Chains A and B, each alone.
Chain A
């Protein structure tokens, strides 16, 4: 038995070592992940709470609350911006040190509750101000992110692996012998996946919305448009990844390389406000960030098409670029 086991083990090792792209990718991926994570999460211990401070000269404020550890203080330019961040739970508390300490907190936020206790312990004179407008529960803030994340996985993995399987089985080679062009094939894949994703997203929206009693502040039709254009861009990205490769390891690795940073940095679970500028810059590149930003604006703030047009333009441009690149680099068969 050991002999047979060793024979199979050896053959698999040879296969792996001789598959150069996979080998290279397997070796480089962990290095890349370590480097990336060290940039994102490295440095001093990360704060637990995020407090917005009105005004620009944050360091000059001499209040005992400023000495709290694991609390990040970010400058907020105006009260309106700060209140919006509090209601959306992008910050846990907004504070104004001018003329007696005043603060605003979202009563639906667990972290807001704790950071408020810390503030009162440090400065018993701090006065809570009413938060005008409806405070948004975390689950409502999370809802667009969950929908977006589900779309992302379905778009990238659902399309990438299917094209890879078609290529490996020789089905693509057979299609290549017909008048079908690469662009036609890719477009058909996009549209097929798009209809499926829109159906699933609508069902999820209605189902989860009913459970958490969520009602979109903005137009549901606009949300559907955002979902459609966002899905298109991520399907096109998945097709671009699968356009050339014939190895599951390479395609799987590339898809993971795309989905993990998007899941962490696109604002699915938490706001990246207050992160370093380059992290925010990277996050803004991701299509998922654009989808979630636009969806939150519509669902939570009632934004109209004018407010989300920049996101939609960006997503449309990404779709066209990815599709064009995918069609250009597409391979029907394994060499």
Chain B
């Protein structure tokens, strides 16, 4: 994808609370028309960073620029936002909830158009409190799209959804991407980031520890494949073998660029291989490699 001018720039952002530094000197730029992912475990600083970018939280220091200017009224008109958790006014239907937000913007889409885009036509007259988790997220996405935003913020949009609802939501986001909207996405689902994001920044402890296109980052960090074995089946003496080992939950992972040689070594050490799984590295492995911690903690 050709590089375009950044629509958003984050310069040396710091957010300090009395007992913790939530964001510690974060900088990045988001080219227009791309999907930029902020990845990291809970408490990494993703939501704080995105809320500062949205203008909801003031930074302790640093700056966010939208189209080269400090975030201001133009940004509020042109940004669409889906928070991690949002409550709406009680007793309003889906259509009325979307119409309420449509009324807050100078320009935007017709309410019916947005309802259709988010597959909400059949739910339009339903009380907004009587929606399932996936339907609720689709309605909140509709609200985020009602001003036909140039930049769309999605803060952990699929957390808590069942796999089917999550896949449906991804399809919606892909259709938005296809319209060349800029998307800022925070998530701790690696599959989501790999599927949707053109570029990612991995955060830990309020800092960015790696940034780039997902495939490029994986190529840079892993020339190997990963072998997974159940931890309880992995004999303790085998830990002394000359292999690159990681503990990953209930599994032991071995990273190698010599698959044949590694398998021979394991067999000679009489390590049971009936539950062996071989797979390419993913972003979760990248996070583990960078921090020594699992992502979903």
B83 touches A173 (CB 8 A): yes
Q: Which of A170, A177, A178 contacts B85 (CB 8 A)?
A: A170
Question: With an 8 A cutoff between CB atoms, is B87 at the interface?
Answer: yes
Q: Known contacts A170-B83, A333-B56: does B76 contact A177 (CB below 8 Å)? A: yes
What number of B residues sit within 8 Å (CB to CB) of A?
A: 19
Decide if A183 is an interface residue (CB 8 Å cutoff). Answer: no
Could you give, for residues 212-232 of chain A, a 1 whenever the CB lies within 8 Å of some chain B CB and a 0 otherwise? 000000000000000000000
A179: B residues at CB distance < 8 A: 73, 76-77, 104-106
CA distance A285 to B105 in the complex (A): 40
- Which A residues are CB-close (under 8 A) to B88? 171, 174
Q: Is the CB of B56 within 8 A of A178?
A: no
Residue of B nearest to A174 (CB): B86
Asked whether any CB of chain A lies closer than 8 Å to the CB of B81, the reply is yes
A80 CB-CB contact with B under 8 Å: no
Q: Mark B139-183, 1 if CB is under 8 A from A, else 0.
A: 000010000000000000000000000000000000000000000
B77 contact set on A, CB distance < 8 A: 179
Q: In the complex, A178 Cα to B146 Cα: how many Å? A: 11
Given contacts A179-B76, A179-B77, A333-B56, contact A174 B83 (CB under 8 A): yes
Closest B residue to A175 by beta carbon equals: B104
Interchain CB contact under 8 A, B87 and A178: no
Which residues of chain A (158-174) have a CB below 8 Å from chain B?
166, 169-171, 173-174
Q: Which residue of A lies closest to B80 (CB)?
A: A177
Chain B residues within 8 Å of A178, by CB? 76, 101, 104-105
Collect the chain A residues with CB atoms within 8 Å of residue B76's CB: 177-179
Q: Across the interface, which residues of A come within 8 angstroms of B198, CB to CB?
A: none
State the Cβ distance, A4 to closest chain B Cβ, in Å: 28
Binding site for B on A (CB under 8 A): 166, 169-171, 173-180, 332-333
Further 19 A-B residue pairs, CB within 8 A, beyond A166-B89, A169-B87, A174-B87? A170-B86, A170-B87, A173-B56, A173-B86, A174-B81, A174-B88, A174-B143, A175-B104, A176-B56, A177-B56, A177-B76, A177-B79, A179-B73, A179-B77, A179-B104, A179-B105, A180-B104, A332-B56, A333-B56
